[in-house]
A and B are shown apart, each in its own frame.
Chain A
Amino acid sequence: MSQDAKGGDVGRRDFLRGAGLATMATMATRFTGASPRAVERFLATRFTELSPDEVEAILADLERDYSRRFGKEVSVSATPPMDDVFFGYGLDISRCIGCRRCVYACVKENNQSRDPQIHWIRVLEMEKEKGIDLAESSPYYDPEQVPEEDFFYLPVACQQCRNAPCTRVCPVKATWQEKDGIVVIDYDWCIGCRCCMSACPYGARHFNWAEPELPAVAVNPDTHILGNRPRMKGVVEKCTFCIQRVRNGRYPACSEICPVGARKFGNLLDEESEIRYLMREKRVFVLKEELATKPKFYYFYAT
């Protein structure tokens, strides 16, 4: 009897689940124009718990969606962290001239929304006389030429904290630190509550308040699922050290564009790397050290 009951139960549950899925898929397809696979993606679990097959399916589905939307081939990868690699970044304050090339190279590389505008890097102008004073700094400086006589510049993006407050406050665990130290966001799992933004002491996280505007000609087609793939309204985004580049050995886009070579990047576990050399030889500091967030973003003075 109990067996009967059980069998009947499962059947009913299966039926309901199937019927529910079908209804949702039809509704979603009809009302949003999205592919039926998008519904499955919506019902999928968080990225870290997906099987390799499921990841593959989602990547293929995303590629199809983006390629159709932008009218050109867009690739989405899920390149995993390399072994024995822990990324760190160095920025030479004695060289930075505040030209903001990095800000816009980042936007281009990482497919940020053009309007409403999202910048992952914010360059702060500070008075030399006052030293590093975040409260007195301004990101809106706009002189004819930089550097200005009495000022210096401090570009700030995600500090990739080892002890990241943003990942701890996320109520749905949609953001975490990868094995190679990159703090990433699962855009499909983010509920847009913005707790992480209030937890971040560096203002490094940004919210898509409206549907991001990204012209098809401007799309960077080399994307990573946890990085620069085009985002949607209602999710948080941030610097990922250009995850789509650095996991393939490339330097981040901001570091390659910098006209004064102030930006350095490398593997903290490799003693011969540029980043380890500058930590050894130069005067180095991190932002808001007193908060014990332990950033992997090091500011230094080469001179």
Chain B
Amino acid sequence: MDPDHRDVLPQSSSLIILLILFAGIGLLTIFSIVKGGAEIEWHEGGGLKAFAPEDFPEIEWNDPSIDQLDAAGLEGSNEAFKVAPPPFSEDIFPCTECHAEMEPDVERRVLEDMHDDIVLDHGPKERWCFDCHNVDDRDRLRLANGTLIGFDESYRLCGQCHGTIFRDWRQGIHGRRVGYWNGPKRYLLCANCHNPHAPKFRPIKPLPPPVRPEFLAGR
């Protein structure tokens, strides 16, 4: 027969072998890419998925105090500062509810029966309850000069030591404001953000990072 035709068989078999080889390499490559991709997702976590504000219902996106400000209008604008109410624990105020009946114990000690959740971490070790709380009338706070003030004026107490920050707060530079840049604003008390017994700001969980460009548009 034609010698050319006899060559066809071995040629096509080598082609098949080549094809199988290519397919194998291809499969391996795809496999490693998929595996590698999964590994990236596992280790880096952030930047792969698009999160929206709606994914965090626990966060109050619109401060409701704006409605109170609007309702109050400009009438109350003569007040010194429109501060938020003090952040009392539930059913703790007025303090005299319990303390009026009790004999004051001015001895420095670790509190055991009540208020044992309070851990003082504020300035020097000598700090003690009655540096700020008033002994005779527990519903009031006491300034260093003996003046008694309400809890809603506690910024005056903090301002005794933290003068520069107090000044900034009054000017609206320290702390958060809600309201109108050209009108009434709601101030927060120091204690609304800082735990007065351990005032250092505690770290919080950040919201997720933006999507990396390579994962944008509906992955």
A binds B: yes
Question: Which residues of A are at the interface with B, using a C-beta cutoff of 8 A?
Answer: 92, 97-101, 103-105, 107-109, 114-117, 119, 122, 139-147, 209-210, 215, 217-218, 246, 249-251, 253, 255-261, 264-267, 273-274, 277-278, 281-282, 302
Contact of A256 among B44, B173, B176 (CB under 8 A): B176
| Closest A residue by C-beta to B59 | A101
Partner among B52, B54, B209 whose Cβ is within 8 Å of the Cβ of A140: B209
A115-B50, A250-B181, A251-B177 as given contacts; A143 in contact with B207, CB under 8 Å: no
* Distance A21 CA – B172 CA, assembled complex (angstroms): 56
Docked Cα-Cα span, A220 to B181, in Å, equals: 21
Say whether, besides A99-B206, A114-B50, A256-B63, A250 and B211 are in contact (CB < 8 Å).
no
Does B99 reach chain A (CB closer than 8 Å)? no
Cα distance A282–B216 in the bound complex, in angstroms? 39
B210 within 8 A of A: yes
What would 16 A/B residue contacts be, using CB atoms closer than 8 Å? Answer: A99-B204, A103-B210, A104-B51, A108-B61, A114-B50, A116-B216, A117-B211, A117-B216, A143-B206, A145-B205, A249-B180, A257-B61, A259-B204, A261-B193, A264-B172, A302-B168
Contacts of B56 in A (CB 8 A): 104
Q: Give CA–CA (A165, B211) in the complex, Å.
A: 27
B interface SS class: loop
Q: Which 9 pairs across A and B sit closest by C-beta, in order of nearness?
A: A142-B46, A261-B176, A145-B203, A117-B50, A108-B53, A100-B207, A249-B180, A274-B172, A261-B175
Task: Check: B178 CB closer than 8 A to any chain A CB.
Answer: yes
| Docked complex Cα distance between A261 and B188 (Å) | 10
- Given that A97-B201, A257-B61 are contacting pairs, would A142 and B45 also be in contact in the complex, using a CB cutoff of 8 Å? yes
Contacts between the two chains (Cβ within 8 Å), count:
147
Contacts of A101 in B (CB 8 A): 59, 207
Given A104-B56, A116-B218, also A274-B182 (CB < 8 A): no
B173 and A107 form a contact (CB under 8 A): no
Please report B residues at the A interface, Cβ cutoff 8 Å: 44-47, 50-54, 56, 59, 61, 63, 66, 168, 171-183, 185, 188, 193, 201, 203-212, 216-218
Least distance between B191 CB and chain A CB atoms (Å):
14
A119 with B210, Cβ < 8 A, contacts A104-B56, A142-B45, A278-B173 known? yes
**A144's closest neighbor in chain B, by CB?**
B205
State in angstroms the CA–CA spacing of A210 and B218 once bound together: 10
Bound: A115/B53 CA distance, A: 12
